Each structure stands twice: as structure tokens, then as C-alpha cells.
């Protein structure tokens, strides 16, 4: 078993989380399941700070989730990412890490532009990886965010296992307000399962561009990315029955089921499905698209049609500009 990292020892929990019976139970669980010393975890959690801002922000976000997407919602979301800053940063990152991206594409079958699309949306290629300590974020959400407390307690468990395995001081790493880490913003559970040491230095370091490139590519491959297959397509003609079909990620159709309703993709994915009917609400009107299995793979990173579309469009824009520069 790897050694615990950091000189943290205490006889009880102090600081912002002193007196939390649920945290005491969690420490007992970590000691029993993973062999952590209680005194070590008392010392670690005595360093944790409660993030009230995060709780307030997520409660507001929870309220907005209950509302259906309004007119222009995709236009507003798209404008946050499809700009010169994201595209130019992607082109520069591709030029700098060309050989690593090519190696990842060969090994995992994932085009370089989609690896870049993830980094563009998540952190603009590392320009903002977050400023909250992971320990603070996950401890706050594990024990004070009722709606998803079980999820964040599991991620806190994963984080402590990860830091011990990788010989990291658990108080030091910083990331997003929700505990995501590195250029690709992996949660600790994703790190344990899909992060790779792509530069061969013996460590998995998601703040390192090479390890991040390999890890994102591996994530896509392990979630079913189909090499050489398209991501989305338009719809031929103007079927009259679109409003009768369920759109979004939860409804899956075979090509035959859509064809029976007059919904035919403008390109053939060469697959039996499952296909998703996507609704994008522009300022000037609504647009329906077909999401192929590779589109669904992108949504395994973030379960949002808008997110996956932003990744897809940025991937294409970065690829197009990179090709244009190479041709000149």
C-alpha cells in the first residue's frame, strides 16, 4: 500500500468541518476499506475549508435545470466558446503538441481535433484549470450538498485514493469548484479509471499536456468512439413529424425507426444506431440534427447536447484553421 503523503496528524477533526458526524463516518469507512489512518485523515480534513459560494452557485444552477431550453439558448451557449480566442488557442496548441496528438490519434482512434475540442471547452488549453483546492470543493459538496452528496462522497473517496497512489499531497491540488482537475477537467473517479501516463515518466499528471492528451483520447476510446465515423448530420428535407418525436440524449432510435417517420440523416453513419434527435434553439429559429454514436460518446464527458455541440464545432473550426495555415 502506498504511503500517505503529507505530515497531517490530529486526534480529531478541527476547522470548518469539526463536529460533522457524517465526515466522522466517512473517515471510519476510509480507514476500514482503504487502510487510511484515522489520525492522518483527521489532520487532512482539519485543513479543509467550507465553500459557501459553491453551495449557493449550485443551488441556483439546480433551479435553472428545471426549465426547458428557451429561444436562443444554443446561440447564447455557442457564443461563449466559438470565438477567436478558443480557436486560435487550439491552433497554437496543435502546433506545439502535434506529435503527441498524432500518437494519441493512432493509438486510440480519436481525431486530434476532438481531443482539442474538449480542452477548448474545459480550460481553454490550460489557461484556466480552476483555483479551488480539490479537498475544499469535494468536502463541501460531499457533506453539505444534499442533492448529489452521495456522488461527491464517492469522488472524495476517489480523490484520497488517487493522491495516495500518485504520491500527491491531498491539500495541494487545485481545480474547479466541483473538484474537476487538469487540462481536461477529469473528476477523481475518471482519473482512476481512464487517466494514462502518456509521456512515460511514471506518473499520471492531468496538469501535463501530454498526459492530458492521452487521457482524453483513452476516455473517448473506452466509451465507444468509432474511428472514422461521423458525429452529427443534418436532416434531409423538412419532415412534418419532428415535433412528435422525443429529442435529447435519453431517447434513442434506430435508423429504421426514424426513417419510418420521414427523418433521414443527410449523411450515412454506416451504423445501426442508436441515433439521437437533437434540438438546437437559435435566435432565428429551431434546428434539428441527428446525433450519431460518436456524438453520444462526447456527452459521456458532459451530459449536455449544448456541450457536445460546442466540442464538435470547435473541433471542426480548429481543424479548418490549422489546415488553412498549413497550406499557406
Phi, psi for 36 (deg, rounded to 5): -70, 145
Phi, psi for 83 (deg, rounded to 5): -135, 175
Q: Do the beta carbons of residue 51 and residue 83 sit within 8 Å?
A: no
122 is catalytic: yes
**199 CA to centre of own chain:** 21
User: What is the distance between the terminal CA atoms of the chain, rounded to a whole angstrom?
Assistant: 55
Phi, psi for 38 (deg, rounded to 5): -65, -40
Residues 6+ apart with CB under 8 A from 24: 13
Q: Do the beta carbons of residue 312 and residue 231 sit within 8 Å?
A: yes
β-strand partners of 280: 287
Return the SS3 of 177.
coil
Q: Do the beta carbons of residue 314 and residue 82 sit within 8 Å?
A: yes
d(CA 215, CA 183) in angstroms, rounded, equals: 10
Cα→Cα distances 49→6, 115, 326, Å: 17, 33, 49
| Site of grid cell 489532520 | 43
Give the side-chain half-sphere CA count within 13 A for 98: 8
Q: Which residue among the candidates 4, 113, 122, 210 is catalytic per the annotation?
A: 122
d(CA 267, CA 1) in angstroms, rounded, equals: 52
Q: Which residues are catalytic?
A: 122
Amino acid at each position: 500500500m502506498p504511503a500517505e503523503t503529507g505530515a497531517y496528524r490530529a486526534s480529531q477533526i478541527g476547522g470548518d468541518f469539526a463536529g460533522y458526524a457524517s465526515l466522522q463516518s466517512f473517515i471510519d469507512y476510509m480507514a476500514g476499506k482503504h487502510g487510511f489512518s484515522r489520525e492522518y485523515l483527521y489532520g487532512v480534513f482539519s485543513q479543509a475549508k467550507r465553500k459557501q459560494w459553491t453551495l449557493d452557485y449550485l443551488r441556483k444552477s439546480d433551479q435553472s435545470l428545471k426549465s426547458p431550453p428557451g429561444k436562443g439558448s444554443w446561440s447564447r451557449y455557442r457564443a461563449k466558446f466559438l470565438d477567436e480566442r478558443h480557436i486560435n488557442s487550439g491552433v497554437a496548441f496543435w502546433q506545439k503538441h502535434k506529435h503527441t496528438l498524432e500518437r494519441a490519434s493512432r493509438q486510440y482512434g480519436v481525431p486530434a481535433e476532438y481531443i482539442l475540442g474538449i480542452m477548448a471547452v474545459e480550460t481553454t488549453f490550460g489557461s484556466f484549470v480552476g483555483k479551488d483546492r480539490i479537498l475544499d470543493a469535494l468536502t463541501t459538496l460531499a457533506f453539505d450538498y444534499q442533492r448529489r452528496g452521495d456522488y461527491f462522497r464517492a469522488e472524495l473517496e476517489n480523490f484520497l485514493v488517487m493522491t495516495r497512489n500518485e504520491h500527491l499531497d491531498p491539500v495541494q491540488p487545485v481545480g474547479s469548484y466541483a473538484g474537476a482537475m487538469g487540462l481536461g477537467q477529469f473528476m477523481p473517479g475518471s482519473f482512476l479509471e481512464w487517466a494514462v501516463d502518456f509521456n512515460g515518466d511514471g506518473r499520471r499528471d492531468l496538469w501535463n499536456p501530454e498526459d492530458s492528451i492521452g487521457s482524453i483520447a483513452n476516455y473517448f476510446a473506452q466509451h465507444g468512439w468509432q474511428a472514422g465515423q461521423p458525429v452529427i448530420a443534418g436532416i434531409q428535407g423538412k419532415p412534418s413529424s419532428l415535433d412528435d418525436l422525443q429529442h435529447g440524449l435519453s431517447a434513442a432510435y434506430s435508423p429504421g425507426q426514424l426513417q419510418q417517420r420521414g427523418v433521414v440523416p443527410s449523411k450515412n453513419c454506416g451504423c445501426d444506431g442508436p441515433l439521437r434527435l437533437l434540438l438546437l434553439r437559435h435566435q432565428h429559429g429551431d434546428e434539428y440534427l441527428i446525433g450519431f454514436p460518436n456524438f453520444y460518446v462526447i456527452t459521456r464527458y458532459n451530459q449536455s447536447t449544448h456541450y457536445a455541440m460546442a466540442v464538435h464545432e470547435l473541433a471542426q473550426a480548429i481543424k479548418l484553421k490549422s489546415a488553412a495555415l498549413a497550406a499557406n
